[in-house]
Amino acid sequence: MNGSTNSSSSKTDWERIDAMADEDIDLSGCPEATADMFANAVVRSGLASSQPASKATLKIDRDVVEWFKKQEQGYQDKINSLLRDYMESHS
C-alpha cells in the first residue's frame, strides 16, 4: 500500500501496516477463494491500465473465450483485469 487515501481524516497507522510481514496478518476470518466466488465476481470496468499492454498468445478453452465474448464489449480487458487481480492477490 502506498498510504494514500481519499479522506484526509484517515486514522490508519500506515507505518505499522507497511512494517508488517505477511505472516503477521491474521487471515483466519478470510475464506479461501473458490471457483464459485470467481463465478459470481463482478469485474470492475472502465479502469485505465497502469501500463502499456503487450500482445500474447494464450491457449484458453474455447468455451471460456466464447463466454467472455458474450458478455459486453471489452472481453480482453476483463480477462486481463481478472488475471491482474489474481496476480496481485498471490504476490
Distance CA 39, CA 55 (A): 26
Helices (H), 1-91: 14-19, 35-39, 62-70, 75-89
Cell of 76: 480482453
Higher pLDDT, 27 or 42: 27
The 10s digit of each residue's pLDDT in 44-78 is: 666 666 778 888 899 999 999 999 999 877 888 88
- pTM, whole model, 2 decimals? 0.45
pLDDT confidence bin for 11, thresholds 50/70/90: confident
Share of the chain above pLDDT 70, in %: 84
Cell of 33: 477463494
- Residue 4 scores a pLDDT above 80: no
